């Protein structure tokens, strides 16, 4: 069985949803759907307003979103019975959202509000399938998708409960929600923004799917960020390791964690374009290509922290003390470089920065730089290749560089720069590494 995931744009209008139905009607698959594009953003805004106690503004935005769903239903469905079911469904989801405008608003209510987008899109899609005579079963993600106390997916729970759900209803086609899950307390939670890709991959791993297809609004992974650089091109083949590096370092087409579950069971991932389904797209699998340079990605919102200390000279245990602090504050480190007297590292989550800085002060002099980006060049830089670094740094010769990490893996060179230089860096690297002058 396949797992086929459609992102927000793919189900973003009634016509697109109908196209998705056409694409999957004859498949034997679990179809994972995101919320209609724009919905999660709007739900995030509603939650923000409620946190700020701006109840009237929140109510107004809920009303506007609700109206857009009633219009959506009128265009998606033609039979009176299906329309009535769908309008009732929309009304009940929005009255649930509205119920949170009355009382104290907490993070738990926020998560419940955020879940409504995927719950709506999957239910509406199934009503449309019913209308066109395609049999399917709705699998409630909240009954099998779960994260543990460390916010990691609970693979055992997911597999066991998904298997049970699959036997409850027999069909060639199953529809489920991406993104949403339950946490260790059984409360509604989610897999973070863009998390539907991760849902698809976790489901693929749980059922040992033949393949995982991720359908979006572009023809696969491009060699550079198409939002920033013109003339990017689609890459036909990527290894899991290359795809994971690109996703982690900013290629938005894939949720950063979504490669690993597929890789674990050697399940190929196909990235396809719903708007142009005949285009080849990208296949991600174990096998490594033989290119020197595969692609470039960039991740913003990076903070660099430098710890300088004479005590580091010839000492052991110094790095452990630093890592301990970051571990205690559950703050992952992205890039790290060391010299004999200083360590520089980057983080992308500043939630606990003040407390971390306070503790690091006991180890040495601390310097913080914000508003940085990591530019990541992915390719094959095995230890015996020559000249790759030269090509990268020649392309970047006019850009001030804050940190460089080379050799950590054979697939990645990471360069930390000020975000103001990001566009220039991506364009120069595109010209220098892919000969697109
Ligand atoms: P979906 O809603 O289908 O999950 P996303 O918006 O999350 O879609 O991801 C698709 C978008 O990712 C594309 O529209 C594109 O702008 C962006 N993107 C960023 N980097 C890349 C890249 N290297 N290759 C392809 N798309 C990329
Ligand atoms: N709807 C969620 C989001 O917008 C999840 C996803 O689209 O993958 O982040
Ligand atoms: Mg996405």
Report CA(344)–ligand 1 centroid distance (Å).
30
pLDDT of 292 over the 60 cut: yes
Cα–Cα dist 74/69, whole Å:
9
Report CA(280)–ligand 3 centroid distance (Å).
19
| 154 token code pair | 């609970």
Please name every residue paired with 368 in a beta bridge, in sequence order, or none if there are none. Answer: 305
Check if 8 has its Cβ closer than 6 Å to any atom of ligand 1.
yes
Are 54 and 67 in contact by the 8 Å Cβ rule? The answer is no
pLDDT of 315 over the 80 cut: no
Q: For residue 322, name the pLDDT band (cuts at 50, 70, 90).
A: very high
Predicted local distance difference test score (pLDDT) of residue 385? 80
Cα–Cα dist 214/5, whole Å:
5
Of 219, 268, 217, 221, which Cα lies nearest the Cα of 19?
A: 217
Q: Which residue has the higher pLDDT, 317 or 50?
A: 50
Cβ-Cβ contacts under 8 Å for 47 (sequence gap 6 or more): 105, 109, 110, 113, 114
Cα–Cα dist 267/346, whole Å:
32
- For 117-131, how does the pLDDT look when each residue is reduced to its tens digit (9 = 90+)? 999 999 999 999 999
pLDDT of 314 over the 70 cut: no
Predicted local distance difference test score (pLDDT) of residue 313? 61
pLDDT of 289 over the 90 cut: no
Predicted local distance difference test score (pLDDT) of residue 103? 86
Predicted local distance difference test score (pLDDT) of residue 100? 95
pLDDT of 225 over the 70 cut: yes
Check if 217 has its Cβ closer than 6 Å to any atom of ligand 1.
yes
Q: For residue 312, name the pLDDT band (cuts at 50, 70, 90).
A: low
Predicted local distance difference test score (pLDDT) of residue 310? 76
Cβ-Cβ contacts under 8 Å for 64 (sequence gap 6 or more): none
- For 161-211, how does the pLDDT look when each residue is reduced to its tens digit (9 = 90+)? 999 999 999 999 999 999 999 999 999 999 999 999 999 999 999 999 999
Predicted local distance difference test score (pLDDT) of residue 287? 86
Q: For residue 58, name the pLDDT band (cuts at 50, 70, 90).
A: very high
Cα–Cα dist 178/39, whole Å:
14
Closest ligand to residue 179's CA? 2
| Best residue among 32, 192, 194 to mutate for probing ligand 2, ranked by most atoms within 8 Å of CB | 194
Q: For residue 288, name the pLDDT band (cuts at 50, 70, 90).
A: confident
Element (H or E) spanning 403, and its range? strand 403-409
Region 16-24: mean pLDDT is 97
Q: If you write DSSP's letter for every residue of 174-239 in order, what string do you get?
A: EEEESSEEE-TTS-EEES-TTTHHHHHHHHHHHHT-S-EEEEESSSS-BSS-TTT-SS--B-SEEE
3-state DSSP helix/strand/coil percent for the chain, to nearest 5?
A: 40, 25, 35
Q: Which residue has the higher pLDDT, 381 or 261?
A: 261
Q: For residue 2, name the pLDDT band (cuts at 50, 70, 90).
A: very high
Q: CA 343: distance to chain centroid? A: 30
* Residue that is written with structure tokens 């979103």 in the block: 65
Region 110-119: mean pLDDT is 98
CA distances from 368 to 47, 213, 304, 330 (A): 32, 41, 6, 19
Cα–Cα dist 143/139, whole Å:
8
Question: Which residue is closest in CA terms to ligand 2's atom 5?
Answer: 194
- For 398-410, how does the pLDDT look when each residue is reduced to its tens digit (9 = 90+)? 999 999 998 888 8
Are 86 and 131 in contact by the 8 Å Cβ rule? The answer is no
Region 346-367: mean pLDDT is 95
Cα–Cα dist 225/231, whole Å:
10
What is the SS3 assignment for 52? Answer: coil
Closest ligand to residue 8's CA? 1
Q: Which residue has the higher pLDDT, 250 or 309?
A: 250
Are 42 and 65 in contact by the 8 Å Cβ rule? The answer is yes
Region 293-316: mean pLDDT is 88
| Best residue among 6, 34, 247 to mutate for probing ligand 2, ranked by most atoms within 8 Å of CB | 34
Closest ligand to residue 217's CA? 1
Tell me the average pLDDT of the chain: 95
pLDDT of 89 over the 60 cut: yes
| 305 token code pair | 């922290």
- For 29-48, how does the pLDDT look when each residue is reduced to its tens digit (9 = 90+)? 999 999 999 999 999 999 99
Region 230-247: mean pLDDT is 95
Question: Which residue is closest in CA terms to ligand 1's atom 12?
Answer: 253
Element (H or E) spanning 47, and its range? helix 39-51
Of all atoms in ligand 1, which is nearest to the CA of residue 222? 24
Element (H or E) spanning 112, and its range? helix 107-131
Cα–Cα dist 419/395, whole Å:
17
Element (H or E) spanning 280, and its range? none
Neighbouring CB atoms inside 10 A of 177's CB total: 26
Phi and psi (nearest 5°) for 234? -80, 140
Check if 194 has its Cβ closer than 6 Å to any atom of ligand 2.
yes
In terms of phi and psi (left: phi > 0; alpha: psi -120 to 50; beta: otherwise), the region of 387 is left
- For 130-147, how does the pLDDT look when each residue is reduced to its tens digit (9 = 90+)? 999 999 999 999 999 999
Q: Which domains does the chain have, with CATH numbers?
A: 2-217 (3.40.1160.10), 294-433 (3.30.2130.10)
| 42 token code pair | 């709007």
Check if 190 has its Cβ closer than 6 Å to any atom of ligand 2.
no
* Residue that is written with structure tokens 């989610």 in the block: 190
Cβ-Cβ contacts under 8 Å for 335 (sequence gap 6 or more): 345, 346, 374, 403, 405, 414, 416
Check if 216 has its Cβ closer than 6 Å to any atom of ligand 2.
no
Check if 12 has its Cβ closer than 6 Å to any atom of ligand 2.
no
């Amino acid at each position: 069985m396949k797992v086929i995931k459609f992102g927000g744009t793919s189900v973003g209008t009634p016509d697109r949803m109908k196209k998705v139905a056409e694409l999957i009607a004859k498949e034997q698959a679990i179809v994972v759907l995101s919320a209609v594009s724009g919905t999660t953003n709007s739900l995030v805004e509603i939650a923000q307003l409620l946190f700020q106690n701006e109840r009237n503004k929140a109510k107004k935005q809920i009303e506007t979103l609700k109206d857009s769903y009633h219009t959506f239903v009128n265009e998606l469905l033609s039979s009176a019975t299906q329309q009535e079911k769908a309008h009732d469904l929309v009304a009940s989801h929005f009255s649930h959202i509205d119920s949170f405008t009355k009382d104290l608003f907490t993070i738990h209510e926020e998560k419940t509000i955020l879940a409504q987008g995927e719950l709506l899109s999957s239910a509406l899609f199934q009503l449309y399938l019913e209308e066109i005579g395609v049999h399917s079963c709705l699998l409630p993600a909240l009954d099998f998708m779960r994260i543990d106390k460390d916010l990691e997916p609970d693979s055992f729970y997911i597999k066991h409960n998904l298997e049970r759900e699959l036997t409850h209803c027999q069909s060639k086609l199953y529809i489920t929600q991406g993104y949403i899950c339950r946490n260790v307390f059984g409360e509604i939670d989610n897999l973070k923004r863009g998390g539907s890709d991760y849902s698809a991959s976790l489901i693929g791993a749980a059922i040992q799917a033949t393949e995982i297809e991720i359908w979006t609004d572009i023809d696969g992974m491009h060699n550079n960020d198409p939002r920033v650089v013109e003339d990017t091109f689609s890459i036909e083949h990527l290894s899991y390791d290359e795809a994971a590096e690109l996703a982690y370092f900013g290629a938005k087409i894939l949720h950063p964690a979504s490669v690993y579950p597929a890789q674990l069971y050697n399940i190929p991932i196909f990235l396809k374009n719903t708007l142009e389904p005949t285009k080849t797209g990208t296949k991600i699998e174990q096998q490594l290509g033989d290119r020197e340079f595969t692609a470039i990605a960039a991740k913003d919102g990076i903070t660099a922290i430098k710890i300088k200390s004479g005590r580091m000279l010839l000492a052991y245990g110094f790095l452990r003390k630093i890592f301990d602090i970051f571990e205690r504050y559950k703050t992952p480190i992205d890039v790290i470089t060391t010299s004999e007297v200083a360590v520089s590292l980057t983080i992308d989550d500043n939630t606990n920065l003040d407390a971390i800085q306070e503790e690091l002060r006991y180890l040495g002099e601390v310097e913080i730089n914000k508003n940085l980006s990591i530019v990541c060049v992915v390719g094959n830089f095995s230890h015996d290749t020559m000249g790759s670094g030269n090509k990268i740094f020649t392309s970047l010769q006019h850009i001030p560089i804050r940190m460089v990490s080379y050799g950590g893996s054979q697939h990645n060179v990471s360069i930390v720069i000020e975000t103001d230089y990001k566009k220039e860096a991506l364009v120069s690297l595109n010209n220098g590494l892919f000969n697109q002058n």
